[in-house]
Structure 1
């Protein structure tokens, strides 16, 4: 496919707030090899990962993923980090030399140190994710690219906040004790429809959308 066709296929719908999750998984469901997702990567997966950022207004990610994957600032769009604990420190690579200030979404009980970021307090003891999405939308950040990790993804699903999933299936059997792509409270299964399938050698690039997705128009 041409880059233009690929952008059209993966484009966010206009005039609404929309959360698209991006994950890579082995055939047997692992989300990491030796603790990191890079072991599952491929040029095709990297292209879709990069495209997800190019099309989005903001990256949404959990603090654990930021620490494990060594997140660094983006040159174009803000990275919004969700944390309910005081695990973030101002010396992390994400906060140093950033042209676009990061966003930290936390709760009142987290006890974070002062950070060079736009800090959003959403909730008292836990992060209110619906409020977090609303706060991002209020800043004009309607196209939300959720990059992980599994616990944040699971919580977003439980709160009914995920509209679509881009899932890369890596042609590996990873076995081990790696987590699945979503981990969290038990909720009724969410019905998805398959919107596209691409193949790059032995890698599958799948796109799913929630069958009865939210229809939140922009203010």
Structure 2
């Protein structure tokens, strides 16, 4: 991996795995305890966040798999919409040995919590079971009107939180995560949740992987929904290039 540009003290050039973890470490929570929220997406050169199968896995590269795993290793919480949970087959977060070692060195809990946002609560209780080995806790954040299998989810070990109202208030979600000490938050999608987080002005960083391929078709963008009343502006914080020709860009919100 080559560091091409950084606004921090890191100099351009080859970068080790330890240094990569350092530059992707989350900024600390502010004095008011506000969470630091980073969104992470992979996109093709022609702007699609999914391949012909409708999933992001078909446009990932080996280096993107590693950086994706690094993001998870450095986070307290994974935030994801229920549509993405269903489309991508999400399960409780399991980690490799190197990820657990890194978390221990960073003073983090053994596993990040998977927080699922769903107004309806329609999530398969199988989400509580990791794909392999032990996994982290799962929390469903839903509404009072939710009609999903909430009892089955609780029986499976999912923490179900019902917020007032007909839709899930994202500022309330941010407050809930902050109260639970989950200040380093990684949002992995989907596009509607990403758009709504931007609209709520909760996104601090955007991590964008550019996969070196073209897919055409009708692939989705990293956001979906009505245009933002006011565009959100971000500045490039760092750029890296991998041997498999993948480009990694990290943007931070401008004041």
Same fold (TM over 0.5): yes
Describe the superposition over 1:16-68 as per-residue Cα deviations: whole angstroms up to 9, x where unpaired.
31000010001111010111001110111111100110110010011111111
1:13 aligns with 2:23: no
1:170 aligned partner: 211
Matched, 1:101 2:101: no
Q: Tell me whether 193-202 or 95-104 shows the greater mean CA deviation.
A: 95-104
What is the alpha-carbon distance in structure 2 between the residues aligned to residue 178 and residue 101 of structure 1?
32
Larger-Rg structure: 2
Partner of 1:31: 49
Q: How large is the RMSD of aligned CA atoms in angstroms?
A: 1.3
Q: CA deviation at 1:117?
A: 1.3
Q: 2:254 matched to 1:211?
A: yes
- Residues 121, 140 of structure 2: 8 Å contact kept: no
TM-score (norm 1): 0.91
Compute the displacement of 1:107 (Å). 1.2
Dislocated runs of 4+, deviation >4 Å = none
Please state how far the C-alpha of 1:185 moved relative to its aligned partner. Answer: 2.4
User: Separation in 1 of the partners of 2:135 and 2:49?
Assistant: 30
* Residue 66 of structure 1: aligned partner: 85
Matched residues in 2 for 1:43 and 1:174: separation? 18
> 169-178 or 111-120: which moved more?
111-120
SS of the residue 2:198 aligns to: helix
Q: Distance in 1 between matches of 2:29 and 2:250?
A: 20
What are structure 2's unaligned runs of at least 5 residues? 1-14, 95-110
Q: Classify the secondary structure of the residue corresponding to 2:186.
A: strand
| Residue 4 (structure 1) aligned with residue 47 (structure 2) | no
* In 1, Cα distance between equivalents of 2:201 and 2:164: 17
Kindly provide the CA deviation profile for residues 189-219 of structure 1, in whole angstroms up to 9, marking residues without a partner as x: 111000001011321100000111xxxxxxx
Contact 1:158 1:185 in 2 (8 A): no
**Count of matched residue pairs:** 210
Q: How far apart, CA to CA, are the structure 2 residues paired with 1:150 and 1:103?
A: 20
